[in-house]
Amino acid sequence: MSGADLSRCSLNTATVKRASLAEAVDAAASAGLGAVGLWRHQVQEHGAEKAARIVSDAGLRVSSLCRGGFLTAADDVGIAAALDDNKRAISETAGVGTRELVFVVGGLPALSEPGQGPRADAGPGDRDLVAARARVADRIAELAPFAAAHDVRIVLEALHPMFAADRAVISTLGQALDLAAPFDAATVGVVVDTYHVWWDPDLRASIARAGAEGRIASYQVCDWSLPLAADPLNSRGHVGDGYIDFPTVSRWVAETGYAGDVETEIFNEDVWAADPRVTARTVGERYARHVLPHL
Amino acid sequence: MSGADLSRCSLNTATVKRASLAEAVDAAASAGLGAVGLWRHQVQEHGAEKAARIVSDAGLRVSSLCRGGFLTAADDVGIAAALDDNKRAISETAGVGTRELVFVVGGLPALSEPGQGPRADAGPGDRDLVAARARVADRIAELAPFAAAHDVRIVLEALHPMFAADRAVISTLGQALDLAAPFDAATVGVVVDTYHVWWDPDLRASIARAGAEGRIASYQVCDWSLPLAADPLNSRGHVGDGYIDFPTVSRWVAETGYAGDVETEIFNEDVWAADPRVTARTVGERYARHVLPHL
């Protein structure tokens, strides 16, 4: 694999989440990758300017920032808090040197904690998925002008339907595109994350549509592994270790003309326990073997 | 809840899976339900005629038989075995007094055991989801004339996308309808199972389409509970205990004119540990509270 062009291969720092920003950047650079995807807590810890310098000093780019979102609150206080926090996230995105702010839009609000089941006092409206989705559309409309003014793109992420109750009421790429449709493609885009969308019978058509509309802000890769982890959020595997047909999906993305980064984002206890440099090297090798030949 | 009309409320016997057929039928009858959904092992144990009599002697109907399917094999031996077994299932369905044979179509064949991850020797073709789905279409075409000759309907079940790798490559109701489209509605239908489809942004449109085409063979209900069980197959809850908006989905089904049974099918260790009569009574109560008023 040595000699493969890894310039479009990005390490999302959640993949090495126990590493500091400096350690994550070092790992990505040592593996010859071209970029890193950052998280807001890193930007907040160092300040946007210094975080950007840590990345650029290593010769890397920032491919995206995670994450805005959590837009499903139904009460005035929750709505105001979501708008405030997302405006801060938009400012941080501009400051750290990427245009792409990934949004996880939130689940049904009938929750105490994600994954813990509905509150005892949940009312019928708390299960109204149609209404929760409509609120997401309303919040995007409110945030889009602010994002446009900061030259930042709101990147809608469809999460796997197993997270519809507690994490994200956007469940398919097609639905993300429908929500993005009222807005300029430079202001509202989508991410194609293999883990979340690989199963979708409409995937090829939705990727083609996303490309034709100029909305693909990121192509994220990691594999669907079984059995699911006790916390299914952490079931993702290295590319090639699971069930996803990366040659086919990567070809569909490439057919749209997408020329941006391919970000690996893995939530997995075993991966987190590994040496960050080893993980970054594995990310590069798997990209070179399963993705790059099909781009 | 006493006095509610439970004549369309059916107990799928998997909900009381530790009960014998006679015990399951007794539980359903004692709770005042109108029907039971059976499984093939029960028909095979008693013979179709006797199994049918156990049900009818209790004043109940058979709402459906589970299950045919597992159609994704790519090798000649596997294909022949699937056709043979499904023809037996079709004959059993006719014999036990229902027209509706529910199909779980199978996952990617790159498996040793469901839920255990890909075989070490899995090749690239084993991850080809598009091809696996095409094989399902081929097998349905081969089985449809046999089903029609026996006046049995092949009922395609979309399973939740978290089962796409290891259980069913049909992941949405719309996809099931596309697969059914080449065939007469009396020969190939679909089931609307809330657990599997509740998250789908296209659900209302797909239910309306299924109804307009005359393809709704069963409306199955159970709830989406969190956290997911260690085996996510067994995460289902009683109607009302989770996140699903039963009034809304039931209204969408009713709007199509669907007048068939509403079958409760729960896979859950706690429910299996309960007294079958108590479980059947809970099924009736939850149906009366969350579903019936919206039908």
Residues A211, A258 contacting (CB under 8 angstroms): yes
When CB atoms are compared, the residue of B127, B128, B172 closest to A201 is: B172
Q: What is the pLDDT of residues A132-169, one digit of tens each?
A: 999 999 999 999 999 999 999 999 999 999 999 999 99
Q: Which of A171, A231, A243 sits opposite B108 (nearest CB)?
A: A243
- C-alpha–C-alpha distance, residues A89 and B10, integer Å: 50
pLDDT digits (tens, 9 = 90+) for A183-217: 999 999 999 999 999 999 999 999 999 999 999 99
Phi-psi region of A185 (alpha: psi -120 to 50; beta: other; left: phi over 0): alpha
Single-letter residue type at B255:
E
At B131 the pLDDT is 96
- End-to-end CA distance of chain A: give it in Å, rounded: 16
The per-residue pLDDT for A179 is 98
* Cα of B200 vs its chain's centroid, Å: 18
Judge contact between A243 and A204, C-beta under 8 A: no
Question: A99 is written with which tokens?
Answer: 């245009």
Distance CA A176, CA A156 (A): 6
Q: Give yes or no for a contact between A120 and A96, defined as CB atoms under 8 angstroms apart.
A: no
Name which of B116, B200, B248 is nearest A226 (Cβ-Cβ).
B116
**HEC sequence for chain A:** CCCCCCCCEEEEHHHHCCCCHHHHHHHHHHCCCCEEEEEHHHHHHHCHHHHHHHHHHCCCEEEEEEEEECCCCCCHHHHHHHHHHHHHHHHHHHHHCCCEEEEECECCCCECCCCCCECCCCCHHHHCHHHHHHHHHHHHHHHHHHHHHCCCEEEEECCCHHHCCCCECCCCHHHHHHHHCCCCCCCEEEEEEHHHHCCCCCHHHHHHHHHHCCCEEEEEECEECCCCCCCHHHCEECCCCCCCCHHHHHHHHHHCCCCCCEEECCCCHHHHHCCHHHHHHHHHHHHHHHHHHHC
Judge contact between A200 and B161, C-beta under 8 A: yes
Q: Is there a contact between A147 and A69 (Cβ–Cβ < 8 Å)?
A: no
Per-residue tokens: B179: 């697969």
Best residue in B126, B133, B245 for a mutation probing chain A (most A CBs within 10 Å): B245
Q: How many other CB atoms are there within 10 angstroms of residue A120's CB atom?
A: 6
Q: Picking from A131-140, A233-242, B215-224, which range would have the lowest pLDDT averaged per residue?
A: A233-242
- CA-to-CA distance for B71 and A142, rounded, in angstroms? 48
* Sequence-distant (≥ 6) Cβ neighbours of residue B201 within 8 angstroms: A133, A171, A172, A174, A175, A178
How far apart CA B235 and CA A119 sit, in angstroms, is: 18
Mean predicted confidence (pLDDT) in A40-54: 97
Q: Report the pLDDT averaged over residues B107-120.
A: 64
Whether the predicted pLDDT of B121 surpasses 70: no
Average pLDDT of every residue of chain B: 94
Residue A231, pLDDT score: 86
The arithmetic mean of pLDDT across residues A173-192, rounded, is 98
Write down the mean pLDDT value for chain A. 94
Percent of chain B's residues with pLDDT above 70: 94
Closest-CA distance, A263 to chain B, in angstroms, reads 21
- Round to whole Å and give the CA distance between B103 and B217: 12
Q: Which of B117, B130, B161 sits opposite A161 (nearest CB)?
A: B161
How much is the pLDDT for A2? 61
Helices and strands counted in chain B (H then E): 11, 10
**Through-space distance between the first and last CA atoms of chain B, rounded to whole angstroms:** 16
Residues near A53 by Cβ (< 8 Å), separated by ≥ 6?
none
Q: Which residues of B touch A (CB under 8 A)?
A: 108, 110, 115-118, 124, 127-130, 133, 160-162, 164-166, 171-172, 174-175, 178, 198-201, 224-228, 230-232, 242-245, 247-248
Exposure on the CB side of residue B259, measured as CA atoms within 13 A: 1
pLDDT band at B63 (very low <50, low <70, confident <90, very high): very high
**pLDDT value of residue B126:** 85
Cα B289 from chain centroid (whole Å)? 22
Contacts of B165 in chain A (CB under 8 A): 199, 224, 226, 242-243
Among the ranges given (B122-131, B245-254, B266-275), the one the predictor scored with the smallest mean pLDDT: B122-131
Tell me the residue type at A265: E
- Is residue B1 over pLDDT 70? no
Q: Which residues of B fall within a CB distance of 8 Å from A118?
A: 242-243
Of the candidates B128, B72, B241, the one whose C-alpha atom is nearest the C-alpha of residue A246 is: B128
Out of A7-21, B94-108, B114-128, B229-243, least confident range:
B114-128
For B224, the closest chain A residue by CA position comes to A165
Complex confidence, ipTM: 0.94
Contact B160 A161 (CB under 8 A): yes
Span A87-134, pLDDT tens digits: 999 999 999 999 999 999 999 986 545 555 666 666 656 899 999 999
Q: Which domains does chain B have, with CATH numbers?
A: 9-294 (3.20.20.150)
| pLDDT given at position B110 | 64
3-state SS assignment for residue B161: helix
